[in-house]
Amino acid sequence: MFKSGLRLMLAGVVLASGTAQAAGVAADGQKIVMQGDGSGAPCLACHGMDGAGNDAGGFPRLAGLSAEYLTKQMQDYNAGTRVSPIMQPNVDNLSEQQILDVAAYYASQPVPAVKASSASEEVLALGEKLALRGDWSKHVPSCNSCHGPGNAGVGSAFPGIAGQHPTYIRQQLKAWQSGSRHNDPVQLMTGVAERLTDAEIEAVATYLAAQPVTVVEGGQ
Ligand code: HEC
Ligand code: HEC
């Protein structure tokens, strides 16, 4: 009930915005990945040609994420509802069509294999609890109630977070806490992030990063 209720509510929000998107051309997107938007480093310098990203750099994996989700994020950087001084300059010269193209390219890339975690059992157990069951004593719903089975993502609104880099997951939860990322529909993520302690953020990021991605949303 709770889970489908949340998703229905969000589907309403997304439909109400009523943006029918044109299709991206992955082959054209591949050129942008190699060249960038003309003003800075090419995408591959940080996200890789294959979209694997890089944990130490805080560069997210883009491979296999939904093309619509990736498109929305680039539009949000350009609109200023998602703030990142490192990322913002990389897409501000792209046209709407180029944004669709580069999103289509990265969405079509296979998800790289996930590394096992060397974290303690205690940390992983806390992470698993938050990811799969939540903590109702603090009104924290489980991550998978929105991010779907295996936290592998649902449609274009709920991104896959299993197999994402831990540094990036941690940074995003902090960005919602501080308000520098406020692009989530009806503040769904703000409500989750603001209830988590630093130790819980660390645990859930560590757990999620080590989960294999069983379902790929990018439409391969
Ligand atoms: C200098 C390194 C760098 C370059 C070059 C770069 N990015 Fe990024 N990218 C980042 C970082 C760091 C983030 C996370 C920023 C944040 O916290 O919002 C990010 C985030 C993103 C996201 C959001 C992903 C998500 O899961 O929400 C997309 C989409 C993206 N980049 C696409 C691109 C594209 C397309 C290009 C090339 C045109 C590009 N990036 C070039 C560093 C880079
Ligand atoms: C009530 C629904 C809901 C719940 C519960 C939820 N999320 Fe989210 N989450 C979202 C939505 C919606 C987005 C996409 C926001 C946007 O459009 O930019 C998101 C995005 C994210 C992202 C950004 C991914 C990316 O590629 O940029 C991370 C990380 C994340 N959530 C982590 C979590 C974690 C960890 C939990 C559990 C502790 C959780 N979420 C629980 C709705 C939810």
Residue ranges and CATH numbers for the domains of the chain are 24-107 (1.10.760.10), 121-209 (1.10.760.10)
Q: Which two tokens stand for residue 24?
A: 């991206």
Name beta bridge partners: 135.
140
pLDDT in tens, 105-149: 999 999 999 989 999 999 999 999 999 999 999 999 999 999 999
Distance (Å, whole) CA 208 – CA 72: 23
Global pTM reads 0.92
43 is in an annotated binding site: yes
- Two tokens at 200? 């819980």
pLDDT tens digits, one per residue of 2-49: 455 555 555 444 444 445 557 999 999 999 999 999 988 999 999 999
CA distance 190 to 208: 19
Mind listing the pLDDT tens digit for each residue in 61-108?
Answer: 999 999 999 999 999 999 999 999 999 999 999 999 999 999 999 999
CB atoms within 10 A of CB 204: 27
Our CA angle for 20, 22, 26, nearest 5°, is 140
Q: How would DSSP label each residue in 94-138?
A: --HHHHHHHHHHHHTSPPPPPPPP-S-HHHHHHHHHHHHT-BGGG
Say if residue 87 carries a ligand binding annotation: yes
Pocket-testing residue among 50, 87, 151, ligand 1, by greatest number of atoms within 8 A of Cβ: 87
Q: Is 200 in the pocket of ligand 2 (CB under 6 A)?
A: no
